[in-house]
Amino acid sequence: MVVVEMYKGKSITEHRVEIVERKGTGHPDQICDSVMDAISVAICHEYLHLFGTILHHNIDKGLLAAGEVEKHFGGGRVVRPMELIIGDRATVKAAGQEIPAGEIAIEAAKGWFKHNLRFVDPERHIRYRVALAPGSEELTDIFNRPGEVREANDTSAAVGYYPLSPTEQAVLGMERYLNGREFKERFPQTGEDVKLMGARSGRDLDLTVAMPLLARFVTSEQDYFAEKKQILAEMQGYAAQYSVPGRLALHYNALDKPGRGLGGVYLSLLGTSAEDADSGQVGRGNRVNGLISMNRPMGTEAAAGKNPVSHVGKIYNVLSHKMARDIYESIEGIKEVYVFLLSRIGAPVDRPQLATAQLLLEKGRRINEISGKVEAIFEREFAAINGFCAALARGEYPVC
């Protein structure tokens, strides 16, 4: 069932208050989401290589337990490694052939750490515990049933929207800049555990940034605050490109307090707070568009690590945002789009129980002028669902 209707609320930019958060590459929650999805992609690759099809798995339960380090100005050491617990379900035997899902999972996790966190040694700084087991008979049977499109393994709802507001663009853009190659080459003393909170009140935007400095590059408390001043000036220069109608305020490492030594600075040994301060868990980080936007409708499913051919918690979460963007970019006269998708367990994933688009229109546009075009986009996207799922399996769509 497809429903196209008017959105009755105000545009996000018309809200007096807007709050947007992003957890960056080295945040423990973001690490969990990214690693578990990398494992799903690797397992999908192995299933396709061995059997020509993707088998049942859901690597969507994971915990990164914080380790312990000793830090001092100029360096430090790891006392106790972080521990990554990998769950939940995977097919480990099919057609009489064993699949080394645990080994694949660990190698994929090590690969992610190697390519994304410069100072984390995946061999020395992390321990791995695999908690993968076969799925239930009914859910695994979905993958043995006939039909070109897999059946949904859950009754679940998802929501996506487009376009991003200026506040959302600023938060997302700033984190990507701070964790980008150019910035890290110029400021190698900064860690990857970047967290941003954007708060807009009326025309004014306030950005709070947390990003540690690496102990090996900082020789003293005085050196720390000198480096911090230089980095803050760089952030302010970058933030100036965003068009904010009012005041733009930027706060960096707001817990810092001069004169308190190590207790008054945000110093890291490895670049992530998971080294000693904060554990991470799948599903507690960004939504699939990379943001935690408090003024927007948000789904509760953790998309990362879920299988990409039957788990609607992944498929519909990503697809709803894609559909919203397609609708906005394809049809003139739309200010904002919200897409809601609802599955029913056992129905093919290309046949949702409900697909809804809520449209905030420009002045003078009517819903009946647009609804047919929106329905055509829904039909086109669901007709191409297998290609979309294949792209998910290859990791072509980010989920955090």
Is 163:338 a contact under the CB 8 Å cutoff?
A: no
* pLDDT score, position 322: 98
* pLDDT score, position 192: 98
Cα(376)–Cα(109) distance, integer angstroms = 40
Is 395:43 a contact under the CB 8 Å cutoff?
A: no
Residue for token pair 């860690």: 191
137-172 burial code (b ≥16 CB/10 A, e <16): eebbebbeeeeebbbbbbebbbbbbbbbbbbbbbbb
- Domain segments of the chain as ranges: 12-23+165-281
CA dihedral 45, 46, 49, 52 (to 10 degrees): -80
Is 119:269 a contact under the CB 8 Å cutoff?
A: yes
Cα(17)–Cα(67) distance, integer angstroms = 38
Tally of residues, the chain: 400
Q: Which tokens belong to 215?
A: 């102990």
pLDDT in tens, 272-315: 999 999 999 999 999 999 999 999 999 888 999 999 999 999 99
pLDDT in tens, 202-233: 999 999 999 999 999 999 999 999 999 999 99
Cα end-to-end span (Å), the chain: 29
Closest of 295, 292, 301, 318 to residue 172, by C-alpha = 292
pLDDT exceeds 80 at position 243? no
**Fold type of domain 12-23+165-281:** GMP Synthetase; Chain A, domain 3 (3.30.300)
* pLDDT score, position 141: 80
Cα(191)–Cα(212) distance, integer angstroms = 5
Cα(90)–Cα(298) distance, integer angstroms = 28
pLDDT in tens, 47-84: 999 999 999 999 999 999 999 999 999 999 999 999 99
* pLDDT score, position 149: 92
